[in-house]
Amino acid sequence: MKIKEEELKVIQEQQAQLNKLVNDIGVLESQKHSLLHEIGNVNKEIESFKKEIEETYGSITVDLSDGSYKVNDEDTPEEND
pLDDT means per 10 residues, the chain with 81 residues, are 98 98 98 98 98 96 96 63 46
Output the pLDDT for position 4.
98
Tell me the domain boundaries of the chain. Answer: 5-71
pTM, rounded to two decimals: 0.67
Output the pLDDT for position 74.
66
Output the pLDDT for position 81.
46
Distance in angstroms (rounded) separating the CA atoms of residues 60 and 54: 7
What b/e sequence results for 33-50 when a residue is b if at least 16 CB atoms lie within 10 Å of its CB, and e otherwise? Answer: eeeeeeeeeeeeeeeeee
54 within 8 A of 65, measured Cβ to Cβ: no
Output the pLDDT for position 27.
98
Distance in angstroms (rounded) separating the CA atoms of residues 81 and 69: 19
